[in-house]
Amino acid sequence: MSLLAIESLSKAFGGNRVIDDLSLTVRQGAVHSIIGPNGAGKTTLFNLVSGIYTPESGRILLDGAETTGLAPYRMAALGLSRTFQNLQIFFNMSALENVMVGMHLHCDSRFLPAMLRLPRIVRRDAEMAEAAAGLLRFVGLAEAVGADADSLPYGALKRLEIARALATRPRLLLLDEPAAGLNPAETGEIDDLIQKIAETGVTVVLVEHDMRLVMGVSEHILVLDRGTLLAEGSGEEIRHNPDVVAAYLGEEGRYL
Amino acid sequence: MRRRLATPRTGGLLALAVVIAVLPAFLPNNFYFDVMILVGLNAIVCIGLNLLVGYAGQISLGHAGFFGLGAYSSAILTSTYDWPPIAALLAGAAGVGLLAFAVARPIMKLRGHYLAMGTLGLGIIISIILTQEVDLTGGPDGMPVYGFSILGWEPSGVLVWYWIVGGLLLLTVWLALNIVESPVGRALRAVHGSEAAAQTMGVDVVHYKVLVFVVSAVLASIAGSVFVHYIGFVTPSEAGFIHSIELITMVVLGGLASIYGAVVGAAILTTLPQLLTFLHDYEMLGFGAIMMGVMIFLPRGLVPTTARLLRDRTR
């Protein structure tokens, strides 16, 4: 069964149909990529799936259960997490606390026990701090454990978002341009990190413009164009699909 | 042990307790005790307001309204209906909590300037009602209130009130620190940092906005109730717009997202007007200038800026 299924989804902004009767499925496991020209609707699709936007029509199913129109925090509880194309870091907190916010669903977040600082709250907070430090090390940010988020460089913030997303213990992780703005060496590290995440059993879907990263890391590629699914398949199939080559990669296919 | 003393929790609470305990030895007469009691009450309101404004990033320009509602609930219930003061205080707090809960859902959907306007309007409505309902509130002239009593004990004299308010302040600081250093506090700061990311991390943003609005309103209400029993008299100006602005200025001066900042801001801006009474005509001018000065030169506020300086120096 597919982990994520999208059926005839549509979303328009002021008459501009950004997602147009789109259907696709993402099966459990491995790394999937969504590519397409600017304005193809990739980020809008992420915003629809994660509940930030509500679609006009169509259905979204996560592991067979309909989730259309659920608020983002409900989606998080169902095992969906994401990063953002434009960083959405909590700059008013430390790096460690950023990750600890990601564990919000896995701790007692009621008001009264927190206000009275019951021993179990303190104990659980210590456990979470340790787990969060572990996640920072996992994404290669061991040195950021004691740092404020606003003191970290751009590349580290991209990883911090990934660590925070992993802290929710997602089944499906959406990465929106994880390599944007990174140099080739940093992109290579992100590549390794994505594979490491996939090996832990998390299904990863990424939107990315860096073709080398996409081709290297993804088992399955979906091509969006003007809000519809233009093609899908393995890297090799996509590379030789004439529609894709014409719409996106250039007539010559010279970027491949 | 030394490290523990440097934390805001242990060290800060201890320092505050020592200051409160030692201060009476340096206060020459009742006037200064009176000022310190007002500092304590304003600090309690500012701590709640800072949870809302500094931590959760939601503005309120109407918090004096909740303070006034607490004050008038206690005044009316004890004087007109002969309720025991503690019951009146709790009923006032519960009523204000319910009111805040009811208005929070629609009002917390607003952001930035719109939220400022919404809360401003709420405060003004409360203040108008307190002024106009002459039969109930005594109108613009205000109304007298009996003293406080609990289980037959009636606190009297400024020293007793000083200890009561000092104790309440310590308790409020402790509870607020607990909230801040918990999953709830992190959720509040996440709402401030990025609503989109907070939601995606599983934080129910609306729930936490409503929660912190209610908590800050209830704290203001309790402070209002204690205030009214101490002063023995209440006028609608306690609920007025000017008072709301004073409270916000205290929070901003002391430092957004700093519990001790709220205390320091309240201490400075409550004490200054009392010590510089000959400049009374320019009081609001002074508040405005302080607000502008802090925004330009000390955007983090006094306490966080000082803490950062100290931390950088010890490194």
Query: Does one domain contain both A222 and A149?
Result: no
Q: Chain B residues with CB inside 8 Å of A175's CB?
A: none
Q: Is B165 on the interface with A (CB under 8 A)?
A: no
Distance CA B177, CA B240 (A): 29
The token duo for A107 is 């701790």
> Which residue positions in chain A have pLDDT lower than 70?
1, 248-256
Contact status, residue A191 vs residue A216, Cβ threshold 8 Å: yes
Distance CA B247, CA B249 (A): 5
Q: Is A55 on the interface with B (CB under 8 A)?
A: no
Query: Does one domain contain both A239 and A175?
Result: yes
How many helices (H) and strands (E) chain B has is answered by 15, 2
Q: B294 lies in a domain?
A: yes
Last residue of a domain, one of A166, A185, A215: A166
Of chain A, the percentage scoring pLDDT greater than 90 comes to 82
| pLDDT tens-place string over residues A103-112 | 999 999 999 9
Distance CA B306, CA A184 (A): 41
The token duo for A150 is 């606003």
A52–B200: do the CB atoms touch at under 8 Å?
A: yes
Q: B237 lies in a domain?
A: yes
Query: Does one domain contain both A242 and A180?
Result: yes
How confident is the prediction along chain B (315 residues), in pLDDT tens digits per residue?
566 667 778 889 999 999 999 999 999 899 999 999 999 999 999 999 999 999 999 999 999 999 999 999 999 999 989 899 999 999 999 999 999 999 998 888 888 888 989 999 999 999 999 999 988 888 888 898 877 777 777 777 889 999 999 999 999 999 999 999 999 999 999 999 999 999 999 999 999 999 999 999 999 999 999 999 999 999 999 999 999 999 999 999 999 999 999 999 999 999 988 887 777 788 778 878 888 888 888 888 999 988 888 888 876
Query: Does one domain contain both A96 and A122?
Result: yes
Last residue of a domain, one of A166, A187, A221: A166
Compute how many other C-beta atoms are within 10 angstroms of the C-beta atom of residue B296.
8
What domain count does chain A have?
2
The token duo for A97 is 């606390």
Contact status, residue B148 vs residue B79, Cβ threshold 8 Å: no
Q: B31 lies in a domain?
A: no
- Residue numbers of the domain that contains A118: 85-166
Contact status, residue A9 vs residue A48, Cβ threshold 8 Å: yes
Q: Taking the CA of residue A180 as centre, how many other CA atoms within 13 Å lie in the half-sphere pointing to its CB?
A: 13
Q: Chain A residues with CB inside 8 Å of B204's CB?
A: 71, 73
Query: Does one domain contain both A253 and A176?
Result: yes
Residue that the structure tokens 């109730």 belong to: B225
User: Which residue from B minimizes the CA distance to A148?
Assistant: B308
pLDDT at A250: 61
Query: Does one domain contain both A161 and A59?
Result: no
User: Which residue from B minimizes the CA distance to A102?
Assistant: B201
Closest CB to B257 among A82, A88, A92: A92
- A11-49 core/surface letters (b: 16 or more CB in 10 A; e: else): beeeeeebbbebebebeeebbbbbbbeeebbbbbbbbbb
Query: Does one domain contain both A124 and A246?
Result: no
CA A188 to chain centre: 18
Residue that the structure tokens 């509870």 belong to: B175
pTM, to two decimals: 0.93
Last residue of a domain, one of A166, A186, A219: A166
Contacts of A235 (CB under 8 A, 6+ apart): A214, A215, A218, A221
Query: Does one domain contain both A65 and A178?
Result: yes
pLDDT at A155: 93
pLDDT at A249: 59
Query: Does one domain contain both A187 and A62?
Result: yes
Residue that the structure tokens 């300086």 belong to: B309
Which CATH number belongs to the domain containing residue A60 in this structure? 3.40.50.300
Q: B29 lies in a domain?
A: no
Query: Does one domain contain both A75 and A1?
Result: yes
Residue that the structure tokens 């590290």 belong to: A189
- The per-residue DSSP string of B189-240 comes to HHHHH-HHHHHHTT--HHHHHHHHHHHHHHHHHHHHHHHHHHHSEE-GGGGS
pLDDT at B237: 92
Query: Does one domain contain both A176 and A256?
Result: yes
pLDDT at B288: 83
ipTM surpassing 0.90, yes or no? Answer: yes
pLDDT at B38: 96
Q: Is A167 on the interface with B (CB under 8 A)?
A: yes
pLDDT at A253: 47
B183–A167: do the CB atoms touch at under 8 Å?
A: no
Q: B28 lies in a domain?
A: no
Of A142, A122, A117, the C-alpha closest to A132 is: A142
A104–B182: do the CB atoms touch at under 8 Å?
A: no
Query: Does one domain contain both A75 and A183?
Result: yes
How many helices (H) and strands (E) chain A has is answered by 10, 10
Q: For residue B89, give the H/E element and its range.
A: helix B85-107
Q: How far is B96 from chain A (nearest CA, A)?
A: 18
What domain count does chain B have?
1
- Residue numbers of the domain that contains B51: 2-23+36-314
Closest CB to A101 among B187, B196, B211: B187
Contacts of A117 (CB under 8 A, 6+ apart): B178, B181, B182
Q: How far is B81 from chain A (nearest CA, A)?
A: 32
